[in-house]
Amino acid sequence: MNKTFEVSFISSNIPRRCGIATFTNDLANSFRKIINGTKLLTNVAAINDNPGGYEYPDDVMYEINDKSANDFKEAAHYLNISDNDVVNLQHEFGLYGGDAGSYILYLLENLRKPVVTTLHTVLEHPTDEQLRVIREINNYSSHMVVQSKKAQSFLSDVYSIPNEKIKFIPHGAHDVPFADTTRYKEKYKLTDKKVLLTFGLLGPGKGIEDVINALSDVVKTNPDVVYIVLGSTHPHVKKQLGESYRKNLENLVITHGLENNVLFIDRFVNTEELLEFLMMSDIYISPYHNMAQIVSGTLTYALASGKAIISTPYWYAKELLKNGNGILYLPNNIELLSNSITDLLNDDKKLNNLRRNAYQSGRKMTWKAVAKNYYEIFQQSVAEFKLMPQVH
């Protein structure tokens, strides 16, 4: 190793229960594994959504209270004197304080390091303040990374971001073997079952009720089916609504007499366990009701794991599941969902074709491939930053 290259991530971070926290952790871990003659280092400036913070791992070097504008200003000074070569901002409007997450601008306007911003939400119809915030972030960023082609077009057409500044890098996924489900079913005593899976933080809009309603017909011909709903209730949903959504789902299961066919696993599982659930599932279902979803980490994981996927046609699903990578159905179309599930359960050839198509498509989305793409953009941003005057 003849030199080092260090990245500082601005993001939520594990153990906070947040999809972006998991994303950043996976990206940072993969980044450090790149073999290229350079020692790659990472650290995190973590965003706290509660005053007490979290018991963070050692790579969290700085903490920012999301409701303190001054914390964002002080974080900039910390990052300026650190040894990092580049800063990667993981952006989601709700992650940062202020109107439309505008507190992040206090940090950026005081920062004297090259910035690459990863956008996790790109809205088709932003408010005036959301539009302003994204444009300001762009002014301080060398590049804006998006995770779907739809987001790329929105960023150009709606936000007027120059095309040369927009970079497409897919959402990452873990590289797992294309394996038979039986081995993993044995561990959970589900060897004789056909397993359906939906995972992620639970809350209204997830569409789980559609799957439960559809199962009432599916079990007539496939009584051995088990639908696993994996994940705890989203912390912010739980704070506002308690467990009312989960209770409604449990009552719906009882109404349909599906107590032996639906399994709720109410906890936030680690990556290793999550991958085991994915590997043992026969069909992955993504029943979201919000069609304006620009990216989904859960759907990316399912695709790269080689799952037969049934999904509603939200933006990201339409993009990811084209060319035979999955099956789409409209929200609330219970009959079509039921028929789609039954069709796959009764046709091994069709199910396995979907699995192979998904797995092959997912190879370019492994964290190893994604981390290498980020490294190239980080290096490019550092080189450009040295040559061009700073815009502050």
Q: What's the full length of the chain, in residues?
A: 392
Pairwise CA distance, residues 152 & 170, whole Å: 11
3-state secondary structure 190-213: CCCCEEEEEECCECCCCCHHHHHH
- Tell me what the mean pLDDT of segment 232-240 comes to: 79
Mean pLDDT lowest among 10-19, 102-111, 140-149, 152-161 = 10-19
Q: In the block, which residue shows the tokens 């929200």? A: 331
Q: What is the pLDDT of residues 197-215, one digit of tens each?
A: 999 888 888 999 999 999 9
H or E element in which residue 86 lies:
strand 86-91
Q: What is the pLDDT of residues 28-79, one digit of tens each?
A: 999 999 988 788 999 999 999 988 899 999 999 999 999 999 999 999 999 9
How high is the pLDDT of residue 346? 96
Q: What is the pLDDT of residues 68-84, one digit of tens each?
A: 999 999 999 999 999 99
Query: Tokens for 385?
Result: 């930053």
> Does residue 2 surpass a pLDDT of 60?
no
Give the sign of the dihedral formed by CA 99, CA 100, CA 103, CA 108: negative
Report the C-alpha dihedral over residues 285, 264, 359, 370, rounded to 10 degrees: 100
- Tell me what the mean pLDDT of segment 206-226 comes to: 96
Sketch out the chain's domains with CATH numbers: 3-172+366-387 (3.40.50.2000), 182-364 (3.40.50.2000)
Q: In the block, which residue shows the tokens 């639970």? A: 202
Q: Sorting pLDDT into bands at 50, 70 and 90, what band is 389?
A: low
Q: Sorting pLDDT into bands at 50, 70 and 90, what band is 1?
A: very low
Pairwise CA distance, residues 135 & 126, whole Å: 12
Pairwise CA distance, residues 71 & 260, whole Å: 50
Distances (CA, A) of 226 to 170, 188, 190: 31, 12, 9
Determine contact, residues 224/192, Cβ cutoff 8 Å. yes
- Percent of the chain topping pLDDT 70: 98
Q: What is the pLDDT of residues 8-19, one digit of tens each?
A: 999 999 999 888
Distances (CA, A) of 104 to 71, 88, 107, 122, 184: 10, 13, 5, 16, 43
> Does residue 391 surpass a pLDDT of 80?
no
Pairwise CA distance, residues 338 & 326, whole Å: 15
pTM to 2 decimals? 0.91
Q: Which of 267, 229, 235 is nearest to 248 (CA)?
A: 229
Pairwise CA distance, residues 304 & 176, whole Å: 8
- Percent of the chain topping pLDDT 90: 82
DSSP at 9: E
Pairwise CA distance, residues 331 & 47, whole Å: 34
3-state secondary structure of 237: helix
CA angle 227, 299, 146 (to 5 degrees): 165
Q: Sorting pLDDT into bands at 50, 70 and 90, what band is 102?
A: very high
- Tell me what the mean pLDDT of segment 286-295 comes to: 94
Q: What is the DSSP string of 174-192?
A: -------SHHHHHHTT-TT
Pairwise CA distance, residues 201 & 49, whole Å: 17
DSSP at 243: T
Q: Which of 16, 18, 20 is nearest to 28 (CA)?
A: 20
How high is the pLDDT of residue 36? 81
Pairwise CA distance, residues 211 & 301, whole Å: 20
How high is the pLDDT of residue 182? 86
How high is the pLDDT of residue 390? 52
Mean of all residue pLDDT scores within the chain: 93
